């Protein structure tokens, strides 16, 4: 009897673990079964390399290049902001700050991490955008630049907390050896600690990249929504996630447009999947 | 000052500057949201339904919607997450299976939330015919919260000292009894903290519920899990992007943002306090 209970319990926990695998395959199956049919209407080369996204025209154009570029532009912009801010605060917390300033800085960063993305979107739309119009005299404040700023701030906590973990695992005797050789604090940070923590820092940046490229609400509200390849950062763009989220509600289920949106999701999934792989490999290397 | 000292001076102060910039952004952000949204907050804003196509009235249906979506999705993902973590920590065999599960969890953790929305749309809304409903939205959010939940539970279980487990087994307890009476109770506070953090995250998610649960405008409260609902984060988005009365809608969006922020930050604060108390009381 007792043995029976043991087996049942183990069975339950096994089934629960199995569920995560089922969900992952479910997601992949969903994306591909709904996304691949778009290749009946457009060949894969045009789908990925044509900048013309006119899904509701007759005949429709299903080129996603401008959407992919849109995503890459805002994500790059976000990282340009988030890497110095996030890595900078991580270095400061781990190497320079005393216990008291740590107690102030860490909650600030945790607070940033807890804010829902839609509230960031509201801030960008209702406050930042009019502000940028005033300051830069640009025609619209909803563009790649403003989306990058807000997205960048969203990514800061990710880069900061993971880099800090990486920096704090660097053995103390490396620092001490560096000081003993006459290096000052800054030289030790740049030449000893950062290189030693390199793989963790890279992981944190990859993770930030994955989060930024997958973020929906901020870009749908702030990036401006124009499906074009921007010639300036002050032009509106339409990242992949924004296209999926804003157009899915207006399409007919099973239409070419519907399948095209799932096709974009496949591209997005593959990008985040590869990002994940790189992150894990960087970690594996670290363990060795 | 030598060149080396100058470099150090510039470097360290640049780091300080980065932190100041981050902090200033947060202060500005909170100031804007709270100063513009704070004056909207009143009993009637919180406890009344919206009126006149969202240009007046309160947000009560959205609060109720967020409440149900969060409770149901956590109710689903918590047991799933804890059971999975138990398997990974206590049984952990065969090794290839555990490694496979681990890859699945890590991959799921990196999947963008909008893709969970598409998954929910295809599987829960269409295939299982739940339509746009609390049920479909909760299931989608539950799947989204799962990797966080598993990781938190696993970390909590691994935090229990090995002696506890060995002592229990040595006393003749079975594996199941050891898990249920020794490991779980000891890890419970940390699992709870992880759960609360997930609650904060789930309550603030918008993209997964866009096509699975959320509706812009309804005056009535949900009566069953098959109803579509208003939800706080979606309400903010809809107020900013739909409707024709921006002048009246934007202040309501700010007010809603204050309520959502207060909710999410309050929940995180509870988690931080619990965690602090655990660490203080812990004797091992």
Cα–Cα distances in Å, from A237 out to A50, A211, B48?
Answer: 16, 18, 38
CA distance A217 to chain B (A): 7
Do A116 and B210 lie within an 8 Å CB cutoff?
Answer: no
A224: left (phi over 0), alpha (psi -120 to 50) or beta: left
What are B66's two structure tokens? 């967020």
Say how many CB pairs under 8 Å bridge A and B: 234
Question: What pLDDT, on a 0 to 100 scale, did the predictor assign at position A143?
Answer: 94
- To the nearest whole percent, how much of chain B has pLDDT over 70? 98
**Helix ranges (DSSP H) in chain B:** 3-37, 43-47, 60-86, 95-110, 113-120, 134-158, 162-170, 175-178, 184-204, 232-241, 246-281
Q: How far apart are CA B104 and CA B230, in angstroms?
A: 32
Q: Is B172 on the interface with A (CB under 8 A)?
A: no
Domains of chain B in sequence order: 59-281 (1.10.3720.10)
Mean pLDDT of A6-12: 92
B229 SS3 class: strand
Q: How far apart are CA A259 and CA B85, in angstroms?
A: 36
Do B19 and A14 lie within an 8 Å CB cutoff?
Answer: no
On the question of pLDDT at A286 being above 60, the answer is no
Q: Omega of the bond prior to A114 within 30 degrees of 0, cis?
A: no
User: Considering only CB atoms, which chain B residues are within 8 Å of A241?
Assistant: 112, 114, 207
Question: What pLDDT, on a 0 to 100 scale, did the predictor assign at position B225?
Answer: 86
- Count of alpha carbons within 13 Å of A119, Cβ hemisphere only? 33
What are A253's two structure tokens? 């289920």
Q: Yes or no: say if B124 and B213 are a contact pair by the CB < 8 Å rule.
A: no
pLDDT tens across A154-174, in order?
999 999 999 998 999 999 999
| Orientation of helix B246-281 relative to helix B232-241, angle to 10° | 150
CA distance B88 to chain A (A): 8
Q: How far apart are CA B229 and CA A135, in angstroms?
A: 40
Measured between CA atoms, the residue of chain B closest to residue A11 is B87
Range of lowest pLDDT (A120-124, A276-280, B9-13, B153-157): A276-280
Query: Measured between CB atoms, which of B5, B100, B200 is closest to A21?
Result: B100
- Reported as a pLDDT band with limits 50, 70 and 90, residue A288 is very low
- To the nearest whole percent, how much of chain A has pLDDT over 70? 98
A224 SS3 class: strand
Residue with tokens 């009946």: A40
Question: What pLDDT, on a 0 to 100 scale, did the predictor assign at position B224?
Answer: 83
What is chain B's Cα-based Rg? 23
Q: How far apart are CA B101 and CA A111, in angstroms?
A: 31
Q: How far apart are CA B97 and CA A40, in angstroms?
A: 37
User: Considering only CB atoms, which chain A residues are within 8 Å of B105?
Assistant: 20
CA distance A139 to chain B (A): 19
User: Considering only CB atoms, which chain A residues are within 8 Å of B254?
Assistant: 122, 126
Q: Omega of the bond prior to B94 within 30 degrees of 0, cis?
A: yes
Q: How far apart are CA A285 and CA A288, in angstroms?
A: 5
Q: How far apart are CA B211 and CA B117, in angstroms?
A: 7
Please provide the DSSP assignment of A15-83 as one string: HHHHHHHHHHHHHHHHHHHHHGGGGGTS-HHHHHH---EETTSSS-EE--HHHHHHHHHHHHHHHHHHH
Does the structure's ipTM exceed the value 0.85? yes
On the question of pLDDT at A27 being above 50, the answer is yes
What are A56's two structure tokens? 């509701």
Measured between CA atoms, the residue of chain A closest to residue B262 is A115
On the question of pLDDT at B233 being above 90, the answer is yes
Mutate to test the interface with A, among B9, B27, B29, B184 (most CBs of A within 10 A): B29
Query: Measured between CB atoms, which of B18, B207, B241 is closest to A89?
Result: B18
Mean of pLDDT over chain A: 92
Backbone phi, psi, residue B167, to 5°: -60, -45
Residue B139: count other Cβ atoms within 10 Å of its Cβ.
Answer: 24
What is chain A's Cα-based Rg? 23
Domains of chain A in sequence order: 48-287 (1.10.3720.10)
A-contacting residues in B 85-104 (Cβ below 8 Å): 86-88, 90-91, 97-98, 100-101, 104
- To the nearest whole percent, how much of chain A has pLDDT over 90? 77
- Strands of chain A, DSSP E: 53-54, 61-62
Mean pLDDT of B171-188: 92
Range of lowest pLDDT (A202-211, B37-46, B244-253, B273-282): B273-282
CA distance A6 to chain B (A): 6
What are A219's two structure tokens? 């870009």
B-contacting residues in A 119-138 (Cβ below 8 Å): 119-123, 125-127
Do A110 and B26 lie within an 8 Å CB cutoff?
Answer: no
Mean pLDDT of B225-234: 90
User: Considering only CB atoms, which chain B residues are within 8 Å of A253?
Assistant: 126
pTM over 0.90: yes
Q: Yes or no: say if B139 and B225 are a contact pair by the CB < 8 Å rule.
A: no
User: Considering only CB atoms, which chain A residues are within 8 Å of B204?
Assistant: 115-119
pLDDT tens across B18-72, in order?
999 999 999 999 999 999 999 999 998 988 888 776 677 889 999 999 999 999 9
Which secondary-structure segment (H or E) carries A89?
Answer: helix A65-91
A237 SS3 class: strand
Q: Yes or no: say if B249 and B53 are a contact pair by the CB < 8 Å rule.
A: no
CA distance A79 to chain B (A): 14
* DSSP-derived pairing of the beta strands B50-51 and A61-62: unpaired
pLDDT tens across A203-247, in order?
999 999 999 999 999 999 999 989 999 999 999 999 999 999 999
Instruction: Please give the distance of CA A104 from its chain centroid, rounded to a whole number.
Output: 26
Range of lowest pLDDT (A15-24, A141-150, B91-100, B107-116): B91-100
Residue B96 DSSP class: H
Do B8 and A185 lie within an 8 Å CB cutoff?
Answer: yes
Q: Yes or no: say if B137 and B206 are a contact pair by the CB < 8 Å rule.
A: no
Q: Yes or no: say if B168 and B102 are a contact pair by the CB < 8 Å rule.
A: no
């Amino acid at each position: 009897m007792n043995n029976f209970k043991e087996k049942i319990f183990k069975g339950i926990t096994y089934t629960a673990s199995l569920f995560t695998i089922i969900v992952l395959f479910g997601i992949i199956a969903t994306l591909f079964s709904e996304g691949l049919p778009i290749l009946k209407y457009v060949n894969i080369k045009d789908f990925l390399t044509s900048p013309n996204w006119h899904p509701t025209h007759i005949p429709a154009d299903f080129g996603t290049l401008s959407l992919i570029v849109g995503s890459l532009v805002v994500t790059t912009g976000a990282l340009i902001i988030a890497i110095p801010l996030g890595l900078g605060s991580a270095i400061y917390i781990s190497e320079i700050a005393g216990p008291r300033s740590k107690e102030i800085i860490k909650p600030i960063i945790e607070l940033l991490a807890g804010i829902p993305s839609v509230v960031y979107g509201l801030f960008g739309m209702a406050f930042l955008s009019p502000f940028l119009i005033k300051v830069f005299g640009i025609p619209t404040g909803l563009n790649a630049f403003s989306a990058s700023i807000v997205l960048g701030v969203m990514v800061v906590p990710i880069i900061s907390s993971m880099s800090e973990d990486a920096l704090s695992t660097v053995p103390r005797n490396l620092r001490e050896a560096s000081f003993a050789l006459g290096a000052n604090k800054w030289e030790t940070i740049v030449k000893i600690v950062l290189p030693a923590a390199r793989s963790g820092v890279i992981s944190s940046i990859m993770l930030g990249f994955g989060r930024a490229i997958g973020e929906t609400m901020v870009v749908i509200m702030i990036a401006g929504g124009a499906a074009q390849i921007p010639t300036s950062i002050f032009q509106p763009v339409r990242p992949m996630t924004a296209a999926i989220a804003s157009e899915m509600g207006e399409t007919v289920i099973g239409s070419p447009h519907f399948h095209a949106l799932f096709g974009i999701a496949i591209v997005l999934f593959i990008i985040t999947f590869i990002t994940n792989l790189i992150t894990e490999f960087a970690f594996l290397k670290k363990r060795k | 000052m030598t060149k080396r000292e100058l470099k150090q001076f510039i470097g360290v102060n640049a780091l300080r500057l980065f932190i100041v910039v981050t902090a200033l952004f947060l202060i500005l952000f909170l100031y804007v949201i709270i100063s513009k949204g704070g004056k909207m907050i009143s009993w009637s804003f919180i406890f009344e339904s919206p009126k006149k196509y969202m240009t007046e009235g309160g947000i009560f249906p959205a609060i109720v919607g967020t409440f149900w979506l969060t409770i149901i999705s956590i109710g689903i993902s918590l047991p799933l997450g804890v059971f999975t973590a138990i398997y990974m920590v206590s049984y952990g065999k065969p090794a290839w299976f555990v490694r496979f599960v681990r890859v699945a969890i890590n991959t799921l953790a990196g999947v963008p939330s909008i893709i969970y929305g598409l998954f929910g749309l295809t599987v829960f809304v269409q295939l299982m015919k739940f339509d746009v409903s609390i049920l479909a939205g909760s299931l989608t959010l539950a799947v989204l919260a799962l990797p966080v939940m598993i990781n938190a539970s696993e970390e909590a279980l691994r935090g229990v000292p090995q002696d506890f487990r060995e002592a229990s087994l040595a006393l003749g307890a079975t594996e199941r009894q050891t898990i249920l009476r020794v490991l779980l109770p000891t890890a419970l506070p940390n699992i709870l903290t992880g759960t609360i953090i997930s609650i904060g995250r789930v309550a603030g998610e918008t993209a997964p519920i866009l096509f699975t649960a959320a509706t812009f405008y309804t005056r009535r409260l949900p009566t069953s899990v098959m109803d579509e609902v208003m939800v706080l984060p979606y309400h903010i988005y809809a107020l900013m992007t739909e409707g024709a009365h921006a002048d009246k809608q934007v202040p309501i969006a700010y007010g809603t943002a204050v309520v959502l922020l207060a909710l999410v930050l309050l929940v995180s604060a509870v988690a931080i306090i619990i965690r602090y108390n655990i660490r203080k009381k812990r004797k091992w």
